[in-house]
Amino acid sequence: MTTADLLEKVAQVLIGLAVFAAVVGLVMFVVDRAPKKRRDVVQLVAFLAPACILLAVGLIWPAARTTYLSFFSRSGQWAGLDNFIWIFTQEDALITVRNTVIWVVLVPLLSTAIGLAYAIFIDKSRGERFFKALVFMPMAISFVGASIIWRFVYEYRQSGDPQIGLLNQIVTLFGAEPVRWIQEPPINTFLLIVVMIWIQTGFAMVVLSAAIKGIPTEQIEAAQLDGTNAWQRFLNVTLPGIRGSLVVVLTTISIATLKVFDIVRTMTAGNFETSVIANEMVTQAFRAGEVGRGSALAVVLFILVLPIVIYNIRLLRQQREIR
Partner 1 sequence: MSVTPADLPIPGSKPARGAIEVAEEGTTRTGRVKKRLTSRGATVAALVIAVLWTIPTFGLLISSFRPREEIIDNGWWTIFQNWGLTLENYQEVLLSPSVSAPQLGSYFVNSLAIAIPATIFPLVLASMAAYALAWIKFRGASTLFIVIFALQIVPLQMALIPLLQVFTSVIQPAQEWVSDTLPFIPTSNFLQIWIAHTIFALPLAIFLLHNFISEIPGEVIEAARVDGASHSQVFFRVVLPLALPALASFAIFQFLWVWNDLLVALIFSGGTAEAAPLTQRLAELTGSRGQEWQRLTAAAFVSLIVPLIVFFSLQRYFVRGLLAGSTKG
User: Could you give the count of Cα atoms lying within 13 Å of 254 in the half-sphere of its Cβ?
Assistant: 21
Least separation in angstroms between CB 97 and partner 1: 15
Residues binding partner 1: what is the number (CB under 8 A)? 132
Please, which residues have CB within 8 angstroms of residue 171's CB and are 6 or more apart in sequence?
A: 177, 178, 179
Least separation in angstroms between CB 65 and partner 1: 4
Using CB under 8 A, which residues numbered 112 to 171 contact partner 1? 114, 117-118, 120-126, 128-129, 131-145, 147-153, 155, 162-166, 169
**Could you say whether residue 321 binds partner 1 (CB under 8 A)?**
no
Least separation in angstroms between CB 44 and partner 1: 5
Considering only 37, 158, 174, 320, the residue that binds partner 1 (CB under 8 A) is 320
Q: Which is nearer to partner 1, 68 or 88 (CB)?
A: 68
Considering only 83, 111, 189, 209, the residue that binds partner 1 (CB under 8 A) is 209
Q: Which is nearer to partner 1, 169 or 228 (CB)?
A: 169
Considering only 9, 38, 180, 314, the residue that binds partner 1 (CB under 8 A) is 9
Using CB under 8 A, which residues numbered 227 to 286 contact partner 1? 230, 242, 244-245, 248, 252, 255-256, 258-259, 261-262, 265-267, 269, 278, 281-282, 285-286
Using CB under 8 A, which residues numbered 28 to 87 contact partner 1? 28, 31-32, 39-40, 43-44, 46-48, 50-52, 54-55, 57-63, 65-67, 69
Least separation in angstroms between CB 92 and partner 1: 19
Q: Which is nearer to partner 1, 1 or 78 (CB)?
A: 1
Least separation in angstroms between CB 94 and partner 1: 19
